[in-house]
Amino acid sequence: MAKYELNKNRKIESNDMEGQNLSDKKTYSTWENIKYIISHSWKYDKSIFGLFCIFTILTGVFPFIGILFPKYILDELTGSQDKNRLILLLVSFFFSSAVIGYFVTFIKNSYLPKMIDIRFQFIHMLSIKCMTTDYKNTEEPSFLNSVETAFRALQSNTNGLEGILHKLFSLGGNIIVLIGYMLIIGKLNIFILLYLIANVSLVYYFTFSVKKYEYNQADELSDIDRHSKYSYDLMYNFAYGKDMRIYSLTDWIGNLFQKFKKQRFDIEKKIKYKYFGVGVREVILLLIREGIVYAYLIYLVLNKGLSIGSFTMYFAAIASFASAMKVIMDDMAHIRAQSLYVSDFRVFMDRKEEKEPAHPRRLPEGPYEIEFKNVTFRYPGSEKYVYKDISFHIKPGQKLAIVGHNGAGKTTFVKLLCRMYEPESGEILLNGINIQEFSKRDYYTLFSAVFQEIKTLAFSVAENIAVSEGAIKEDKVLQCLDKADMKKKVLEQKNGIYTGMQKILDDEGVEFSGGETQRIILARALYKDAGIVILDEPTAALDAIAERSIYEKFNEMVEGKTSIFISHRLASTSFCDVIAMFEEGQLIEYGTHEELLAKNEKYAEMFQVQAQYYKEDEVAVTVDKVTGGQLQYD
Ligand code: ADP
């Protein structure tokens, strides 16, 4: 099982409380993040700023009603006892409380959905980044972890980005309230005020240090969550149903899930204990604070003639001051702590993608000629080279077969050609132009590709086929289905080409068989009708004969287009104009099927072994060993 190593560098330096600069990682200060959130929110929904102003004024005034009115009512009761004035004071007290209270609730209910909406705009930004990031990132565990971490800033109403927005909203009113209390208490005794500030600041310091600790667990939690999510998804993925039962995976996967949950629970427990510790210290500080301040107030009443009305006002102001200041301190600690998550989100969004050319070249007209010129490549973080100084040519309209054992580098060839990765050195040329000179978006339009992993979307057959275009051309869909031998089967369904694939979104959806799904994917490639066609072993689930028949059929369908056929079954690709055989990062043989058989080296050897195997498998295959070499089927 994976070991979870904390990225120690990510921890905040303890003396760096202001800027929260992480030791070696680009990050943003709280202030920068606040500006970032505000500017984006302004872009998404300006109306919340109007609500903010009204809310700030109302919440800034509201608490003073509960402090000032009782003082005047008590002074009236213990003083002149004028009934009219008393009634006026009481009516004003209740009326203003009710009206302001109503509007505060009303505005709160108005801005809450708006904030959720703003958060969803950020989620949209993150989703777009995930869908468009360089493909190579999607195969990197560190990238996958950083997606989890970035998402932490967006996954709840109370934390991360929306959490900050909420706190900013209430902060304005609370600051007005605090200033009001400070004026009242400052009038009583400036030292009492300073003492209260020092006392509450200490509470703030304790709270922030726990939040900082919580943040420092985020990397480890991301890693655990990624693993636990994977095992959770496995348990609900019925595609593994057979393996689960036959290989008794149930206990293994179930225990794995429990184990990850336990790891998470242990970390959460430690965090909760720390919060509990802060709570205890806070209560002790509160007792000391209240004891000193109230003893002083009672002393003033007994010895300095402080009125009961004023006593009540100061009593309420001091109690409320401490809680208002605590709310502000807590909110600030929350904003600072959540800002760390927003930083992670921004760092993720800032992640550099491969540079696109400043002035991309226009795509040339087909037919397309492809050249690999001294290409050397290894995967990021890998020591082992997949290709070393490989060169070869695919002529316009030529059909190239790439063959070799598993792990020889066949799929990597497709990834390089499709610009999912860039070569470490050397060039890939399209009609003589380095493919890096085109914009990726344009360049991708050149390919109709069918990859190894057959991925259909849980939409209709027609949508699966026409996926690259907005409006569906039904005639063209039917034509492509016909060519792929699937028209009859699809039209037999109640909803024809609008039959849902899978039942996830459509109760009437159909689960097509593996072979049928592959044909629909082939129809998709035909529908796109791009200039270069790639077939990367999409037939792994089929037997050799079915694979060969699909390849040959596809060969007819893409006549005249530059095409690349990949297979480890040599018989499937023997019809191609030219065959490139890879082994351990080297292009070991290159030529027509006949030439390679005549050479009688690795290709011929592999071909004969495979032909023998199919014979033994009672597939009626006859091989003309060296000359024609085409397989024939009875
Ligand atoms: P083939 O398609 O011929 O089976 P691949 O092109 O998939 O082979 O793989 C070639 C080599 O590159 C193999 O050694 C494989 O382990 C390695 N490889 C493939 N993908 C990655 C990756 N994302 N990261 C690191 N190594 C990889």
Those residues of the chain that have pLDDT short of 50 are 1-24, 469, 617-634
89 ligand 1 Cβ < 6 A: no
Residue 26: its pLDDT value, please?
A: 65
Last residue of a domain, one of 485, 509, 529: 529
What is the distance between the alpha carbons of residues 90 and 76, in angstroms, rounded to a whole number? 11
CA of 450 to the centre of ligand 1 (A): 18
**Using alpha carbons only, what angle is made at residue 522 by residues 517 and 528, rounded to the nearest 5 degrees?**
130
Residue 167, H or E segment: helix 160-188
Best of 412, 565, 588 for a ligand 1 pocket test (most atoms within 8 Å of beta carbon)? 412
Identify the DSSP state of 511.
Answer: -
Residue 165: its pLDDT value, please?
A: 93
What domain range includes position 178? 28-349
Residue type at position 582: F
Residue 420: left if φ>0, alpha if ψ -120 to 50, beta else—which one? alpha
Number of residues assigned to the chain: 634
For residues 72 and 217, state if they share a domain.
Answer: yes
Last residue of a domain, one of 349, 368, 396: 349
Q: Is the dihedral of CA 215, 218, 219, 221 positive or negative?
A: positive
pLDDT in tens, 594-613: 999 999 888 998 888 887 76
Mapped onto helix, strand or coil, the DSSP state of residue 389 is: strand
Angle formed by the axes of helices 47-78 and 160-188, nearest 10°: 30
For residues 150 and 267, state if they share a domain.
Answer: yes
Question: From the alpha carbon of 136, which atom of ligand 1 is closest?
Answer: 23
80 ligand 1 Cβ < 6 A: no
Q: Indicate whether 283 belongs to any domain.
A: yes
Contact predicate 519/553, CB 8 Å: no
Residue 490: its pLDDT value, please?
A: 93
- Tally the domains of the chain: 2
For residues 46 and 189, state if they share a domain.
Answer: yes
Residue type at position 623: V
Q: Indicate whether 517 belongs to any domain.
A: yes
CATH code, 524? 3.40.50.300
Question: From the alpha carbon of 382, which atom of ligand 1 is closest?
Answer: 25
Residue 402, H or E segment: strand 399-403
Question: From the alpha carbon of 582, which atom of ligand 1 is closest?
Answer: 3
What is the distance between the alpha carbons of residues 566 and 403, in angstroms, rounded to a whole number? 6
Peptide bond into 380 cis (omega under 30): no
Q: Indicate whether 419 belongs to any domain.
A: no
Q: Indicate whether 397 belongs to any domain.
A: no
Last residue of a domain, one of 514, 529, 544: 529
Residue type at position 99: V
What is the distance between the alpha carbons of residues 97 and 74, in angstroms, rounded to a whole number? 18
Q: Indicate whether 603 belongs to any domain.
A: no
Q: Write down the H helix ranges in 305-428.
A: 308-350, 410-417
453 ligand 1 Cβ < 6 A: no
What is the distance between the alpha carbons of residues 107 and 101, in angstroms, rounded to a whole number? 10
Closest Cα partner for 362 from 303, 469, 438? 438
Q: Indicate whether 97 belongs to any domain.
A: yes
Q: Indicate whether 591 belongs to any domain.
A: no
For residues 333 and 188, state if they share a domain.
Answer: yes
584 ligand 1 Cβ < 6 A: no
Mapped onto helix, strand or coil, the DSSP state of residue 307 is: coil
Contact predicate 182/311, CB 8 Å: no
Virtual torsion, Cα 38, 39, 41, 45, nearest 10 deg: 130
What is the distance between the alpha carbons of residues 347 and 182, in angstroms, rounded to a whole number? 40
Q: Indicate whether 363 belongs to any domain.
A: no
Best of 135, 140, 411, 537 for a ligand 1 pocket test (most atoms within 8 Å of beta carbon)? 411
Residue type at position 593: H
For residues 345 and 461, state if they share a domain.
Answer: no
Q: How far is CA 226 from CA 123, 232, 345, 533, in A?
A: 18, 10, 17, 35
379 ligand 1 Cβ < 6 A: yes
CA of 29 to the centre of ligand 1 (A): 41
58 ligand 1 Cβ < 6 A: no
Instruction: Give the residue whose CA is nearest to atom 13 of ligand 1.
Output: 407
Instruction: Give the residue whose CA is nearest to atom 1 of ligand 1.
Output: 407
The DSSP secondary structure of 2-18, one letter per residue, reads ------GGGSBPTT-TT
Residue 24: its pLDDT value, please?
A: 45
For residues 139 and 253, state if they share a domain.
Answer: yes
The DSSP secondary structure of 458-507, one letter per residue, reads SSBHHHHHSTTSSS--HHHHHHHHHHTT-HHHHHHSTTGGGPBBSSSS-T
408 ligand 1 Cβ < 6 A: yes
Residue 40: its pLDDT value, please?
A: 94
Residue type at position 526: L
CA of 415 to the centre of ligand 1 (A): 10
Residue 336 CA neighbour count, 13 Å, CB half: 22
380 ligand 1 Cβ < 6 A: no
Residue 622: its pLDDT value, please?
A: 39
What is the distance between the alpha carbons of residues 110 and 518, in angstroms, rounded to a whole number? 50
Residue 236: its pLDDT value, please?
A: 82
pLDDT in tens, 39-71: 999 999 999 999 999 999 999 989 888 888 888
Instruction: Give the residue whose CA is nearest to atom 14 of ligand 1.
Output: 407
CATH code, 289? 1.20.1560.10
